[in-house]
């Protein structure tokens, strides 16, 4: 029978590796999350992105003025920043490959997906990485309310959900510019309720969304202006969201802090987050007792995510519902790298072309283009979304061609079977692997198998 | 002959998809379900119908919009003296003139008030009403159509592209593929894979389909050019529709124009136009038997917002194109944009259920009776009078 360490590393982490020893009990598993909260000195952060954007504004303006030398400098600058963003992606892969349990990095993925933001230009791509460092990592074992506040007011979110374009219709700024179409944009308000906190099935109205949108006016970002709140574009007066009144005095970020604190501790939020964690880590259709336990932990602890992590690590459903989940493409690729014995340093040393060919293009073809989910609801959880014929064809193609370009020599397929799946391998796979015509096909069978692609 | 409905029922009970069963190859069910083709394009993100087909003749429009839907004086093409075609769709004018392009300007699903894309899309693809739990709706109306079509095989219907298409999910076998996928397996590896997937229905069926499709692909469908996925998808869909396939569905995302709509919408409309024209070109003579419907989960606010964009609304536009369409006209009625005419004081009032158009098209083109359409394909729908969308 598979050990706790095997089950936990596969279900809560990124799978087994011959190089790593996962924690042997739930307490160790939950404690291992701390490693993912650390932010290295090289990390992309808001302050750095702000400085890069500031310089970029000058270079861009000079380039647009028509000086060819300035244009070359601008292109070279953006190319250099593109390299920094690429290194940030490699770092995400590398940390996941090296994390001894993988649980913390999986939580980074989960929460970054819960609070989805996407980029676009190189500056805003870098901002999405800053978002992970600023808003997600520090709060993995802290309070949900703190993570939610950090996420909602982060420039990456403010821009992604158009909050930077939302102006109170009766604000000072709108009154100064009667000819400009300045007004509310309710995108962030809506997703804050529907996706980030209460859930779309909860009891709220269009009026709550509109009132929250009015309350959020004032949130903004510009690389050359300090702070993220502009009272001059905030809608005057108090707003009522879900029956509670906010603001009314001089508009300030405190009003927004207040409403986020209340949304974060709402009973519907406890149920929504509990279910979402159970769906992501346990089963597409999770057992209700698990969801109820997680919701109770959330409610009883005031949204303590460390307690949620421990409750997940302790859940007997991890074993009972084993392999009810499809690994998402990022999860699949990291698990394959770990199983093959690749280490983080090798990932960080990949040349741009290797990164594209071996990881990013395949990930896109499997249905998960890096940093580009289709909407603010993030990536789908449903196994059918990932085990489509074309998605599976892409995984098989990768399993046939990529490992020999990642490890030389290839591991013996029988050893890989042991290293990647331990005591969890099925009889059918154990039977088939020694019958492959070559080591490469034996390796491909393992990585393409349902055993490996499920967790 | 084995009863197909009975077979589907029994295979569903043991959790085995009919697609992988050897008895259900297209040879066994060779009778094709007629010659008509249906293409459903889901425009994800809620297209602004008031900008695509601009009701510039409505006196209230000017007061609601400052930078959008500015009519023929600003680059749109007049259609009928009241509506104008957005310049992003201008390549479709020859279709309009040939009577192969039509639109219904004020339609919606039964979804109201919460205006979530995801629930809106679920309801659009599920084709159900408001009385069912959205989370539980995992199958789609094109799949239920297949279940009502005699003589169809798994090749009959395709969803195309990398993203998931709930509209074709369900008990009836249907295929899904992206032109980007290829596989290069030795016969031994293929056999071993088949064996290790055997006990996992999801992997077994998906891999069986993948191997079958790879073996049947026409060469050179993929363009490999970035930003041209929609053309690859259209070419692949046409390739299949020129064979045994009669129903194809895919999606085009990117319509959520909360800000700077005048910058992004022309590009998206251009993609939609190119997609339709690629289908037309590659379908050749089959275009005459084709109905294309482009649908969106809901419309957008009638008022332009503070960011030169629009927010989530209710009433939206159905676009129909194809040689089988009775086009060159607006279908249905126009509710008007006066304050009292709006839904909830902010949205275009939907005058007709978008499902009624789809239902009448299926009735006309696949001979599905009204009771089936109103009872199981679109449960609870009242189809009303025939809009005569198709010729």
Interface test with A, best of B191, B307, B344 (most A CBs within 10 A): B307
How far is CA A290 from each of CA A172, A433, B132, rounded to the nearest angstrom? Answer: 50, 36, 25
Q: Do B181 and A449 touch (CB under 8 A)?
A: no
- CA atoms of A85 and A125, how far apart (whole Å): 7
Q: Bigger pLDDT: B43 or A365?
A: B43
pLDDT of residue B337 exceeding 70, the answer is yes
pLDDT at site B170: 87
Q: Do B202 and A383 touch (CB under 8 A)?
A: yes
pLDDT at site B11: 30
Q: Do B177 and A389 touch (CB under 8 A)?
A: yes
Strands (E), B204-266: 247-253
Strand partners, B296: B43
pLDDT of residue B16 exceeding 50, the answer is no
Residue-wise pLDDT for B156-191, tens only, equals 999 887 667 889 988 898 887 877 666 777 788 899
Place B6 in a pLDDT band, splitting at 50, 70 and 90: very low
Of B169, B210, B259, the CB nearest to A162: B259
**∠ at Cα A338 (A40, A402), nearest 5°?**
110
pLDDT at site A182: 86
pLDDT less than 50: residues of chain A: none
Residues 139-168 of A with CB under 8 A from B: 162, 165-167
- Residue B339 CB coordination number (10 Å): 11
Of A169, A387, A396, the CB nearest to B202: A387
Residues 191-250 of A with CB under 8 A from B: 194, 200-201, 205-206
Q: Do A445 and B181 touch (CB under 8 A)?
A: no
Q: Do B196 and A426 touch (CB under 8 A)?
A: yes
How is chain A split among helix, strand and coil, in percent rounded to 5?
Answer: 65, 5, 35
Q: Bigger pLDDT: B258 or A359?
A: A359
pLDDT of residue B286 exceeding 80, the answer is yes
pLDDT at site A58: 94
**β-strands A238-241, B37-44 pairing:** unpaired
Q: Is A34 on the interface with B (CB under 8 A)?
A: no
Contacts 24+ apart (CB under 8 A), B54-59: B54/B83, B54/B84, B54/B85, B54/B86, B55/B82, B55/B83, B55/B105, B55/B334, B55/B337, B56/B82, B56/B83, B56/B84, B57/B81, B57/B82, B57/B83, B58/B82, B58/B334, B58/B336, B58/B337
Residue-wise pLDDT for B201-241, tens only, equals 999 999 998 888 877 766 666 666 777 889 989 999 999 99
DSSP per-residue letters across B149-198: STT--GGGEEEESSS--GGG-SSS--EEE-TT------HHHHHHHHHHHT
Average pLDDT over chain B reads 86
Poorest-confidence range of B37-46, B50-59, B184-193, B245-254?
B184-193
pLDDT of residue B14 exceeding 50, the answer is no
C-alpha distance from B199 to closest chain A C-alpha (Å): 9
Place B31 in a pLDDT band, splitting at 50, 70 and 90: very low
**∠ at Cα A403 (A398, A406), nearest 5°?**
125
Rounded average pLDDT over B337-356: 96
pLDDT at site B134: 66
C-alpha distance from B340 to closest chain A C-alpha (Å): 19
Rounded average pLDDT over B252-272: 93
- Which chain A positions have a beta carbon within 8 Å of B207's beta carbon? 389, 392-393, 396
- Which chain A positions have a beta carbon within 8 Å of B313's beta carbon? none
C-alpha distance from A168 to closest chain B C-alpha (Å): 9
How far is CA B389 from each of CA A47, B40, B47, B326, B328, rounded to the nearest angstrom? Answer: 57, 14, 21, 6, 11
Q: Bigger pLDDT: B32 or A354?
A: A354
Rounded average pLDDT over B101-119: 90
Q: Do B162 and A393 touch (CB under 8 A)?
A: no
Residues 114-133 of A with CB under 8 A from B: none
pLDDT at site B222: 63
Interface test with B, best of A181, A430, A432, A442 (most B CBs within 10 A): A181
Reading across the β-sheet that carries B53-54, which strands appear in turn? B53-54, B84-85, B77-78
Residue A252 backbone class (left: φ over 0; alpha: ψ -120 to 50; beta: rest): beta
Place B271 in a pLDDT band, splitting at 50, 70 and 90: very high
- Which chain B positions have a beta carbon within 8 Å of A383's beta carbon? 202
Residues 387-426 of A with CB under 8 A from B: 387-394, 396-397, 400, 426
Task: Please tell me what DSSP assigns to residue A379.
Answer: S
- Which chain B positions have a beta carbon within 8 Å of A198's beta carbon? none
Tokens of residue B356, six digits: 């009624």
Cis peptide before A77 (omega within 30 of 0): no
C-alpha distance from B106 to closest chain A C-alpha (Å): 21
pLDDT at site B182: 65
3-state secondary structure of A42: coil
Of A390, A428, A435, the CB nearest to B178: A390
Residue-wise pLDDT for A12-70, tens only, equals 999 999 999 999 999 999 999 999 999 988 899 999 999 999 999 999 899 888 888 99
How far is CA A190 from each of CA A170, A205, A269, rounded to the nearest angstrom? Answer: 21, 10, 14
Tokens of residue A426, six digits: 């099925």
Strand partners, B301: B347
Q: Are B314 and B350 in contact (CB under 8 A)?
A: yes
Residue-wise pLDDT for B73-94, tens only, equals 999 999 999 999 999 999 999 9
Strands (E), A235-365: 238-241, 244-247
3-state secondary structure of A56: helix
Residue-wise pLDDT for B47-62, tens only, equals 999 999 999 999 999 9
Q: Is A373 on the interface with B (CB under 8 A)?
A: no
């Amino acid at each position: 029978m598979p050990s706790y360490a095997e089950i936990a590393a596969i279900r809560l982490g990124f799978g087994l590796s011959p190089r790593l020893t996962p924690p042997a009990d739930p307490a160790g598993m939950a404690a291992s999350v701390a490693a993912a909260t650390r932010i290295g000195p090289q990390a992309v952060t808001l302050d750095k992105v702000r400085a890069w954007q500031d310089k970029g504004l000058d270079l861009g303006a000079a380039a647009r003025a028509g000086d060819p030398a300035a244009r070359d400098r601008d292109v070279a600058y953006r190319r250099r920043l593109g390299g920094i963003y690429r290194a940030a992606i490699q770092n995400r892969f590398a940390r996941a490959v090296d994390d001894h349990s993988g649980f913390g990095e999986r939580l980074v993925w989960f929460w970054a997906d819960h609070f989805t933001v996407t980029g676009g230009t190189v500056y805003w791509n870098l901002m999405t990485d800053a978002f992970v460092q600023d808003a997600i990592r520090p709060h993995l074992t802290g309070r949900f309310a703190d993570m939610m506040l950090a996420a909602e007011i982060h420039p990456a979110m403010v821009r992604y959900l158009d909050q930077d374009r939302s102006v109170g219709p009766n604000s000072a700024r709108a009154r100064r510019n009667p000819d400009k179409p300045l007004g509310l944009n309710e995108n962030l308000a809506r997703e804050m309720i529907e996706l980030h906190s209460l859930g779309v099935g909860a009891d709220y109205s269009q009026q709550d969304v509109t009132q929250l949108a009015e309350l959020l006016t004032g949130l903004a970002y510009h690389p050359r202006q300090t702070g993220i709140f502009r009272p001059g574009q905030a809608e005057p007066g108090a707003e009522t969201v879900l029956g509670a009144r906010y603001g009314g005095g001089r508009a300030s970020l405190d009003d927004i802090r207040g409403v986020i604190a209340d949304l974060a501790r709402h009973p519907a939020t406890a149920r929504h987050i509990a279910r979402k964690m159970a769906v992501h880590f346990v089963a597409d259709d999770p057992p209700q007792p698990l969801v109820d336990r997680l919701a109770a932990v959330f409610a009883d602890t005031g949204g303590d995510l460390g307690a949620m992590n421990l409750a997940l690590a302790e859940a007997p459903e991890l074993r009972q519902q084993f392999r009810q989940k499809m690994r998402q493409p990022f999860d699949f690729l990291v698990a394959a790298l770990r199983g093959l014995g690749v280490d983080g340093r090798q990932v960080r040393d990949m040349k741009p072309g290797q990164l594209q060919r071996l990881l990013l293009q395949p990930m896109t073809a499997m249905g998960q283009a890096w940093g580009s989910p289709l909407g603010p609801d993030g990536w789908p959880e449903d196994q059918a979304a990932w085990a489509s014929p074309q998605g599976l064809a892409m995984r098989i193609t990768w399993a046939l061609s990529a490992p020999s370009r990642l490890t030389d020599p290839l591991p013996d397929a029988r050893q890989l079977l042991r290293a990647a799946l331990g005591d969890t391998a099925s009889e059918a796979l154990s039977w088939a692997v020694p019958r492959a015509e070559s080591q490469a096909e034996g390796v491909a069978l393992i990585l393409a198998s349902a055993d490996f692609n499920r967790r | 002959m084995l009863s197909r409905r009975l077979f589907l029922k029994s295979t569903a009970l043991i959790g085995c998809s009919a697609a992988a069963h050897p008895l259900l190859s297209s040879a066994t069910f060779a009778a094709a379900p007629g010659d008509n083709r249906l293409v459903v394009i889901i425009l994800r993100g809620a297209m602004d119908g008031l900008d695509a087909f601009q009701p510039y003749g409505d006196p209230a429009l000017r007061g609601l919009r400052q930078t959008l839907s500015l009519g023929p004086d600003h680059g749109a093409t007049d259609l009928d003296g009241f509506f104008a075609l957005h310049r992003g769709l201008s390549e479709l004018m020859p279709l309009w003139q040939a009577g192969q392009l039509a639109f219904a300007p004020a339609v919606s699903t039964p979804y109201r008030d919460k205006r979530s894309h995801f629930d809106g899309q679920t309801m659009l693809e599920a084709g159900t009403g408001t009385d069912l739990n959205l989370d539980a709706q995992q199958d789609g109306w094109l799949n239920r159509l297949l279940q009502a079509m005699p003589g169809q095989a798994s090749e009959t219907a395709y969803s195309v592209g990398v993203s998931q298409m709930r509209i074709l999910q369900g008990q009836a076998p249907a295929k899904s593929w992206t032109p980007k996928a290829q596989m290069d397996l030795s016969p031994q590896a293929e056999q071993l894979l088949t064996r290790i997937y055997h006990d996992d229905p999801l992997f077994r069926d998906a891999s069986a389909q993948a191997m079958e499709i790879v073996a049947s692909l026409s060469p050179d469908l993929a363009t490999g050019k970035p930003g041209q996925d929609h053309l690859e998808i259209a070419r692949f869909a046409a390739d299949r529709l020129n064979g045994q396939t009669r129903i194809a569905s895919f999606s085009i995302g990117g319509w959520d124009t909360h800000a700077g709509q005048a910058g992004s919408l022309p590009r998206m409309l251009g993609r939609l136009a190119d997609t339709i024209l690629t289908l037309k070109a590659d379908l050749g003579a089959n275009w005459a038997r084709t109905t294309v419907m482009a649908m969106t989960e809901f419309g957008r606010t009638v008022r332009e917002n503070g960011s030169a964009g629009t927010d989530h609304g209710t009433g939206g536009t159905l676009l129909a194109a194809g040689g089988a369409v009775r086009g060159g006209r607006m279908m249905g009625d126009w509710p008007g944009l006066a304050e009292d005419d709006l839904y909830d004081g902010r949205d275009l009032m939907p005058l007709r259920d978008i499902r009624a158009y789809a239902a009448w098209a299926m009735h006309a083109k696949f001979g599905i009776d009204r009771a089936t359409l109103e009872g199981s394909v679109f449960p609870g729908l009242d189809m009303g009078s025939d809009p005569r969308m198709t010729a």
